[in-house]
Amino acid sequence: MTANDGRVRLPSALRRSQIATAARHVFALNGTAAKTRDIARAANVTEAVLYRHFRSKDEIFAEAVLFPLDQLATELLRLTMQLGAAREGHRRWELSQEIQREIFAVMEKITPLIGIALLSETGRAFHAGRVGPLVQLATESMSRSLSPAKQEQIRPETVFVLIAGMYFGICIDAMLGGAELDREQITKELVKLVAFGIRRAREETLPERSAKAG
């Protein structure tokens, strides 16, 4: 179905997602100085349509950053529950890689925006009210994959922040340097790093690890 100006009419949820996706690019280029008319143009909608779905530019910005974070928290909950229930070493290894792929994918989306969000005047409130609770949910999910003995050695929150921080650093470096990221290779390297530590990350393989455990 099309409007009089030729634009396609989309269901509300899909249109909202489309605007948020376009807004990520506009905010990444212009920071908080971005104009709603620029966001509307990027989303191929009028400003009137934009304001039917969002009450303000701040709400658009929150949605642009938080939508992938919400997805990440939901997916982490699903994957870490599977990881906690998995007993076979190879399956746990696969799930660990899948978890880190999800974190990596989200970091690639929001890295250009996180600094703008947290360094803005409302950054502290933004973190406390929206990002903090999502990190807490992800941390609770992460704890399902760690045995009580391991949690005595390192807190699940530390594990999650460590993993997210590594991918954030990699994305920042790539963004500033204009580098292309090999997501699959980087994920494999960092899964080994988290699992085995720096000294053994290059030496250990899953079959060897499984043989030792047996």
Measured CA to CA, the distance from residue 173 to residue 147 in angstroms comes to 34
Q: Which tokens sit at 166?
A: 């590594």
Measured CA to CA, the distance from residue 83 to residue 112 in angstroms comes to 31
* Burial class of residue 206 in the structure, from the number of CB atoms within 10 Å of its CB (0-12 exposed, 13-18 middle, 19+ buried): middle
Alpha carbon distances (Å) from 13 to 9, 27, 38, 66: 12, 21, 21, 15
Residues in the chain: 214
DSSP letters spanning 157-213: HHHHHHHHHHHHHHHHHHHHHTPPP-HHHHHHHHHHHHHH-HHHHTT--HHHHHHHH
Give pLDDT, residue 121: 62
Q: Per-block average pLDDT, block size 10, for the chain (214 residues)?
A: 53 89 88 90 94 92 77 77 79 87 85 71 69 75 72 79 89 89 91 76 51 48
Give pLDDT, residue 6: 46
Among 157, 167, 156, 175, residue whose Cα is nearest residue 193: 167
Superfamily of domain 1-54: Homeodomain-like (1.10.10.60)
pLDDT digits (tens, 9 = 90+) for 8-44: 667 788 899 899 999 988 988 888 788 999 999 999 9
Give pLDDT, residue 15: 92
Residue 43 CB partners (closer than 8 Å, separation 6+): 18, 19, 21, 22, 23, 50
Domain chopping of the chain, boundaries: 1-54, 61-213
pLDDT digits (tens, 9 = 90+) for 56-77: 998 998 888 777 777 777 777 7
Give pLDDT, residue 47: 95
Give pLDDT, residue 41: 96
